[in-house]
Chains A and B, each alone.
Chain A
Amino acid sequence: MQQLYDTLSQRFSLGEFTRQRADLAFITVGAVRLHALLRHLRDQEGFTHLVLLTAVDWLEDGQFQLTYLLNNRAKCQDLGLRVMIARDNASMESIHDLWAAAATYQRELREMFGIDFPGSPRLMDDFILEGWNAAPPYRRDFDTLEYARATYRERPGRETRDPAAHMKQQLYGDKGDV
């Protein structure tokens, strides 16, 4: 994988390289050159299978990490491309022209994280959350507990325990912190 990184470095401006396993590595790349890099990996390097496209919310840094995971079946290698984009007005170039299935991932990311992919087919159609009007729920600043309390009423007679405190009590009784 290091060899692949060196080869790609000659053509593209690449960031941090992380070797996770012998068959899995992650590379940080800039948003601008991503489309060209993906096309190169698909057409020239044998990474023809888009395994997944997802986002990680680094709220404290004000950034989303988009992860494009590709697989090269002939060489049994996986390569993850990390792209950091700003959380505010998050937008990224669509890759549905490279993989038709990417449109579904992008639709989900628009709905769950509020990331825009201009030009992606049916991007604004509801995917999982039909009729959802609140903030994108998979963002870290969306509090599911607060949303549930504001939206649904408490059923009388239910007892709620903090899971961690309850487990500690079950395991250690009154012996205190362990």
Chain B
Amino acid sequence: MFELDRSQYPQKKADGTLDIDLTSGKYLKLWQGPQHPGITGNMAIELTVCGDEVVDATTHVGYLHRGFEKLMERRTFMQCFPIVCRICVPEPDFNEYCYAAAVEELAGLEIPELAHWIRTLILEMGRVNSYLMYLGGQAGAFGQGVIGQWTTYVRDLMLDRFEELTGARIYHMFIIPGGVRDNLPDGFAGRMEETLREIESVLADVDRVMFHNAVFKKRAVGVGVIDTAWLDSYGITGPNARAAGVAKDVRKDQPYLVYPELDFEAVTGKDSDIYTRADVRRRDLLLSLDLIRQILAKMPKTGAVMTKLPNVLHWKIPRGETYVRGECSRGEYGYYLVTDGSGYPRRVNVRGPSYTHSIALFERMVINANISDVAALLVSLHTYPPEIER
């Protein structure tokens, strides 16, 4: 960012559009993405720069559009369930949970208590994976490639736990309408404890090498500040809001699953810059490790994990609509489901936090930023494009 007040630059015309003459020779159009190390997934940013200052930006998405919401309208309720996890690759489990919970609510299904615990466990495991991937990306945006190698190593250990629990590493398809597929395997808690200790060990190194690194501090402190006045206007949730000092966390605000039985407080920061957002996520990651321990200690060891479902080939759900949300690693994740009494959803709408963060918010934040800060700024919002274009 620049030392001088640049708030009045670039100037705007009377109609609110930017007063930029692209033929003047002062400006350059620069594309960051869709194939670029400084982009988060399948998206692109169209930058207009003057010197090394960004004066305009447009986020382009659609490189990964598969029309999930439309596809689901042609599938039975059970056929939709293996699709939804693909809407968010690094943290797919929230799609499974939100979809299952919405279907269960409209169908009037009660799921067993043990399934609630296992669902919470899976969601926290997914959060750990997502944060580990983020930390590697955030450090990488400043040229610290080694952090990504460390976090990828421990993420792989957590994927091992996912594999032994669900049979899959990325798309788990374990949270199913009616409950979960199975109970924990024998000895799971012990192996999970080993994984958690290894993650903590690596995070201690990450703390020293990344968060106490002079280059990281120099480039992340005071850069990319989100004004608290923007929170409602831009629909900012999750760590992006908590780093601004607002304790927005669905797990505390509108608790779901077994979160009311767990002991924790929402992690917040106050400076709302790139550094604070990274630090909030690091501490939230440590909180997730603690929550996993609490869940494994408190959960019942035996019991049913699935409720009895109607014949899924002929399953019709009465007309209704609902919205179910959860707190994923990036903020509020939700499913709006409308049913019309038939065997197919009338409408499924996925509310991913990246939808607002990486378009309206990012396009505003990046104005007046230096080109070299764009990648770090985008990564600091922790966005995953598939949940934008669904």
Residues of A within 8 A of B (CB): 18, 20-21, 23-24, 26, 42, 48-52, 54-57, 65, 67, 69, 73, 76, 78, 80, 99-101, 103-104, 125-130, 137-138, 140, 142, 144-145, 163-164, 167-168, 171, 178
Q: How far is the CB of B309 from chain A (nearest CB, A)?
A: 13
A138: contacting residue among B70, B311, B355, CB under 8 A: B70
Given contact pairs A103-B360, A104-B356, A23 touches B74 in the complex (Cβ within 8 A): no
Q: Provide 7 A-B residue pairs closer than 8 Å at the C-beta atoms, listed in order of the A residue.
A: A20-B105, A51-B332, A100-B233, A104-B359, A127-B62, A128-B62, A128-B65
Shortest A117–chain B CB gap in Å is 15
User: Nearest chain-B residue to A60 (Cβ)?
Assistant: B340
Tell me the smallest distance from the CB of B338 to a CB of chain A, in Å: 5
Q: Which of B311, B313, B322, B361 contacts A20 (CB 8 A)?
A: B322
> Given known contacts A24-B322, A101-B234, A130-B62, what 17 new A-B pairs fall within 8 Å (CB)?
A49-B232, A50-B235, A52-B349, A54-B336, A67-B336, A73-B253, A76-B253, A99-B235, A100-B360, A101-B361, A104-B355, A104-B356, A104-B360, A128-B388, A144-B67, A144-B71, A171-B313
Residue of A nearest to B360 (CB): A101
Instruction: Specify which chain A residues have a CB less than 8 angstroms from the CB of B355 in the assembled complex.
Output: 104
Whether B313 and A168, one on each chain, are in contact in the complex, defined by CB atoms closer than 8 angstroms, is: yes
**Do A56 and B62 have beta carbons less than 8 Å apart?**
no
Determine how close the nearest CB of chain A comes to the CB of B362; give it in whole angstroms.
11
Measured CB to CB, the nearest residue on chain A to B74 is A144
Interface residues of B in 314-339 (CB under 8 A from A): 320-323, 325, 332, 334, 336, 338
Contact partners of A103 in chain B: CB under 8 A: 360
Bound-state CA distance A69–B350 (Å) is 13
State in angstroms the CA–CA spacing of A87 and B109 once bound together.
Answer: 34
| B181: interface (CB < 8 Å) | no
Contacting residues, chain B, for A49 (C-beta < 8 A) = 232, 235, 237
> Which B residues have a C-beta under 8 Å from some C-beta of A?
58, 60-62, 65, 67, 69-71, 73-76, 79, 105, 232-235, 237, 248, 253-254, 311, 313, 320-323, 325, 332, 334, 336, 338, 346-347, 349, 351, 355-356, 359-361, 364, 388-389
Known: A20-B322, A23-B254, A48-B232. A101 touches B75 (CB 8 A): no
Docked pose: A18 CA to B338 CA in angstroms: 13
Q: Let me know if A20 and B75 touch, CB within 8 A.
A: no
Given contacts A78-B323, A129-B65, contact A167 B253 (CB under 8 A): no
Give bound CA distance, A144 to B360, whole Å.
Answer: 30
Chain B residues within 8 Å of A163, by CB? 75, 79
Contact between chains at A101 and B248 (CB < 8 Å)? no
In the complex, chain B residues whose CB is within 8 Å of the CB of A145: 74
- Known contacts: A23-B254, A164-B313. The answer to whether A100 contacts B74 by CB under 8 A is no
Partner of A57, one of B67, B79, B347: B347
Contact of B338 among A56, A78, A168 (CB under 8 A): A56
Closest 9 CB pairs of A and B: A128-B62, A54-B349, A48-B232, A101-B235, A101-B356, A56-B347, A52-B351, A101-B360, A100-B233
Contacts of A65 in B (CB 8 A): 338
The answer to whether A26 and B232 have CB atoms under 8 Å apart is no
List chain A residues, Cβ under 8 A from B313.
Answer: 164, 167-168, 171
Q: How far is the CA of A54 from the CA of B67 in the complex (A)?
A: 15
**Contact residues in A for B60 (Cβ distance below 8 Å):** 130
Minimum CB distance partner of A143 in chain B: B74
What residues of A have a CB within 8 angstroms of the CB of B351 in the complex? 51-52
Most chain A beta carbons < 10 A, residue from B70, B232, B320, B338: B232
